[in-house]
């Protein structure tokens, strides 16, 4: 940067959480078009914030009320080590800030992203995204061959007899592994570094961002008050992108929702990710390969960046 930049608004929001210090935190930095930052600086800020993802929203035209009145922005997402093509929870964090902090007056907000247009809205106390589905496909022989050392490690970690299905979602570069319904996924011991130790993206044809592990929901895996059953639960491991285990990964559910909807023969609407900071997601399947991803958000920190 040629000159110092002062007073850039930045926030941390807990997503898929109805109160602070739950769910998945994301940092969000608000930029005008005349204060936009190079990608390498955004990457350094994401490393400095050290959240699973830091989002950067940019107003198309510089204006003091752009974040209040505009309905279209550009949006990018960075983990501490790399840029992501899609991120659900950081997009919801951004949307919640536009509506609750900046008082945006539009019914819908459009984000221009590396994955195309993402439409966001407010749904009562929750916030929603219209996302593309990222279907998981069975492994063909070249993919299975490339993934062989990782699949063997997964057999060792989870038990080959416990693995029911494995699919790969090219759009998000995620491997989805479904385990038998009786697996206690929340308490299953997993060391994420074991995955990246046996699978080096730099020398592989099949690139990976993470591994989704999922089981069918049941009354025992429902919310603490027992009033509602989850359709499925999951965990997400992303050692290749600097996120050993994501608390709640929204983009993973663009594969999970259509996967489980097909298995259940109905739309999977309620999901829970069972990390150390679990969170609840509301889902819906739309026509034309789209879906809705929704959840609650809680603002926990607001500050300013000086660079």
Report pLDDT for 60. 83
Tokens representing 236 are 């997400």
Separation CA 307–CA 232 (nearest Å): 43
**Longest CA–CA separation in the chain, Å:** 59
pLDDT (tens digit, 9 = 90+) per residue, 94-117? 999 999 999 999 999 999 999 999
Q: Print pLDDT tens along the chain (307 aa).
A: 556 677 899 999 999 998 999 999 999 999 998 889 999 999 999 999 999 999 999 998 888 899 999 999 999 999 999 999 999 999 999 999 999 999 999 999 999 999 999 999 999 999 999 999 999 999 999 999 999 999 999 999 999 999 999 999 999 999 999 999 999 999 999 999 999 999 999 999 999 999 999 999 975 555 444 556 899 999 999 999 999 999 999 999 999 999 999 999 999 999 999 999 999 999 999 999 999 999 999 999 999 999 8
Query: CA 215 → CA 3, 55, 100, 176, 280, distances in Å?
Result: 51, 30, 35, 11, 15
Can you read off the two tokens belonging to residue 164? Answer: 């029911």
Would you give the DSSP letter of residue 93?
Answer: H
Per-position DSSP letters for 198-230, written without gaps between them: H--GGG-SS--SEEEEEEE--GGGS-TT-S---
Residue 141 host element (H or E): helix 141-146
Q: What is the mean pLDDT of the chain?
A: 94
DSSP assigned state of 140: P
Q: Is 1 helix (H, G, I), strand (E, B) or coil?
A: coil
End-to-end CA distance of the chain: give it in Å, rounded.
9
CA angle 295, 284, 96 (to 5 degrees): 25
Q: Could you tell me the two tokens for 39?
A: 């990608």
Instruction: Find residue 282's DSSP bridge partners.
Output: 270, 294
SS3 of residue 194 by DSSP: helix
Q: Which two tokens stand for residue 202?
A: 């730099």
Contact 166, 176 (CB under 8 A): yes
* Torsion angles phi and psi, residue 238, rounded to 5: -130, 55
Of 132, 105, 109, residue with least CA distance to 120 = 109
> In this predicted structure, what is the pLDDT of residue 5?
74
- CA-nearest of 223, 242, 243 to 231 is 223
Residue-wise pLDDT tens digits, 181-235: 999 999 999 999 999 999 999 999 999 999 999 999 975 555 444 556 899 999 9
Look-up of token digits 């009786």: 182
Based on C-alpha coordinates, what's the Rg of the chain? 19
- pLDDT score of 225: 42
Please state, in angstroms and as integers, the Cα–Cα distance from residue 152 to each residue in 137, 158, 195, 242, 262, following that order: 19, 10, 10, 22, 27
Residue 71 tokens read as: 């309905």
What is the rounded CA–CA span in Å between residue 123 and residue 8?
28
């Amino acid at each position: 940067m040629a000159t110092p930049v002062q007073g850039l608004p930045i926030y941390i929001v807990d997503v898929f959480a109805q109160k602070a210090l739950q769910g998945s935190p994301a940092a969000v930095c608000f930029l005008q078009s005349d204060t936009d930052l190079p990608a390498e600086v955004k990457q350094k800020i994401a490393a400095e914030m050290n959240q699973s993802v830091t989002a950067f929203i940019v107003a198309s035209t510089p204006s003091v009320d752009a974040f209040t009145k505009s309905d279209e922005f550009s949006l990018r997402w960075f983990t501490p080590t790399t840029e992501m093509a899609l991120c659900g929870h950081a997009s919801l964090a951004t949307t919640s800030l536009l509506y609750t902090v900046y008082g945006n007056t539009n019914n819908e907000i459009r984000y221009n992203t590396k994955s195309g247009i993402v439409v966001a809205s407010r749904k009562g106390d929750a916030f929603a995204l219209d996302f593309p589905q990222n279907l998981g496909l069975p492994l063909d022989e070249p993919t299975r061959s490339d993934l062989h050392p990782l699949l063997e490690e997964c057999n060792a970690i989870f038990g080959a007899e416990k693995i029911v299905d494995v699919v790969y979602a090219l759009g998000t570069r995620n491997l989805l592994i479904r385990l038998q319904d009786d697996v206690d996924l929340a308490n299953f011991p997993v060391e994420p570094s074991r995955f990246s130790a046996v699978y080096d993206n730099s020398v592989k044809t099949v690139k990976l961002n993470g591994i989704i592990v999922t089981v069918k929901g049941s009354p025992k895996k429902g919310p603490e008050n027992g009033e509602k059953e989850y359709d499925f639960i999951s965990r997400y491991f992303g050692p290749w992108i600097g996120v050993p285990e994501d608390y709640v990964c929204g983009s993973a559910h663009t594969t999970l929702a259509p996967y489980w909807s097909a298995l259940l023969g109905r739309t999977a609407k309620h999901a829970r990710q069972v990390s150390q900071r679990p969170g609840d997601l509301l889902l819906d399947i739309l026509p034309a390969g789209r879906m809705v991803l929704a959840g609650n958000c809680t603002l926990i920190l607001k500050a300013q960046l000086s660079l």
